[in-house]
Structure 1
């Protein structure tokens, strides 16, 4: 149902890298993110943590984690799927970094989050097919 999952999270100068990595482990327990140091808008240093998950076992574990979300969150995602899936069958979600650190997953719309891109295994890779498969994934 999923080809791969990629994510990235930004660690700003006021944040603790280990805490952000702990939040990532809430979503992807076996992931070891790669880091890239870059410069922010105001010339401050920003660390980007990212990884791509391709192993079936790990993608299935992620789907289990999504299915453990509270029913209102799953309904919210399900209702927004049309806007969250692109024409190539990629589903985009964001999870609150601070809440993930505390072990609580919350889907959010703001940028200060863990950005997740889920490549849905849709054949052919069309939005309509990806939408159908994603709805099945979030079925309540």
Structure 2
């Protein structure tokens, strides 16, 4: 079972903020019950910050916590990944799941803007943290849930 899915992306001053937001919205609109951009406006937190060299950056973050929405988003991600990305995810599953039962993925911002789900290893990406819930807490069971969801 998924407890929640956190999504976070940074828009640098050299990027169009609206394009980065559209890439994030691509994922959010594909969780259950979200059909219009107005449905997700309240769900996205926007922080204006300053980069290391004083450059302006904007951080967009959202949490999908309703069970139905989380499951729909996970299903959407899995169904839209390429076979190569699924294989990569399978091979890296143990390394992507931490001791707190959080499963980490990064998605290409440009691909998301274009309406595609593509894994990336770049730090300039849409970061997804999937919190897996097991009772009692058990990493092995969490790994089985991750395998069932994304494998």
Give the TM-score taking structure 1 as reference length.
0.93
How far is the alpha carbon of 1:57 from its aligned partner? 2.2
- Measured in 1, the distance between the counterparts of 2:122 and 2:20 equals 16
Matched position secondary structure for 1:22:
helix
Matched position secondary structure for 1:4:
strand
- Within-5 A mapping of 1:71-82: 71-82=83-94
- Measured in 2, the distance between the counterparts of 1:57 and 1:127 equals 23
How far is the alpha carbon of 1:89 from its aligned partner? 0.5
Contact 1:85 1:92 in 2 (8 A): yes
- Within-5 A mapping of 1:63-74: 63-68=74-79, 69-74=81-86
Gaps of 5+ in 1: none
Q: CA RMSD in A?
A: 1.2
Give the TM-score taking structure 2 as reference length.
0.86
Structure 1 segments of 4 or more deviating over 4 A? Answer: none
How far is the alpha carbon of 1:122 from its aligned partner? 1.9
